[in-house]
């Protein structure tokens, strides 16, 4: 399902993530989007983003994102939020990660919105 308003992109992400749907997650990114998988690291392009997301999906966790603010200017939007991911590490131990995210999304020709920049560690 295409995101029709930038305010909806976090919910689309968590729905796809919690369902373990890698294809739906990747569909939320522009082809040349960038993702910061950890503070100080950046990957670009859907293939690289897919590899990173596969690692997070392997945790078989549950994610929540609270959208804190959306600032839109024409076809570009800046989103801020807070997220929590609870899952299971490779050794079977419980993992909980959290952060404050910042993303840039852009309206596409069909009216849908996709991530251009995704920084889950926006405050780091």
61 lies in a domain? yes
Distance CA 14, CA 105 (A): 16
Task: Give pLDDT tens digits for 90-105.
Answer: 888 999 999 999 999 9
Task: Give pLDDT tens digits for 21-61.
Answer: 999 999 999 999 999 999 899 999 999 999 999 999 998 89
98 lies in a domain? yes
Percent with pLDDT over 70 in the chain: 98
18 lies in a domain? yes
Domain count, the chain: 1
Whether residue 73 is predicted with pLDDT greater than 70 in this model: the reply is yes
Instruction: Give the CATH number of the domain where residue 67 resides.
Output: 3.10.450.50
54 lies in a domain? yes
To the nearest whole number, what is the mean pLDDT of the chain? Answer: 94
What's the distance, CA 8 to chain centroid? 12
Structural domain boundaries, residue 73: 6-119
124 lies in a domain? no
97 lies in a domain? yes
SS3 of 17-76: HHHCCHHHHHCCEEEEEEECCCCCCCEECHHHHHHHHHHHHCCCCEEEEEEEEEEEECCE
Quick check: pTM over 0.85?
A: yes
């Amino acid at each position: 399902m295409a995101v029709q308003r930038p305010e909806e992109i976090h919910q689309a992400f968590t729905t796809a993530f919690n369902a373990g749907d890698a294809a739906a997650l990747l569909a939320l990114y522009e082809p040349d989007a960038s993702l910061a998988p950890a503070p100080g690291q950046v990957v670009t392009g859907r293939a690289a983003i897919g590899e990173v997301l596969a690692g997070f999906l392997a945790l078989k966790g549950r994610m929540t994102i609270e959208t804190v603010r959306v600032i839109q200017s024409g076809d570009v939007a800046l989103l801020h939020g807070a997220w929590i991911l609870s899952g299971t590490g490779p050794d079977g131990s419980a993992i909980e990660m959290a952060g404050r995210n910042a993303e840039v999304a852009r309206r596409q020709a069909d009216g849908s919105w996709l991530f251009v920049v995704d920084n889950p560690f926006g405050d780091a």
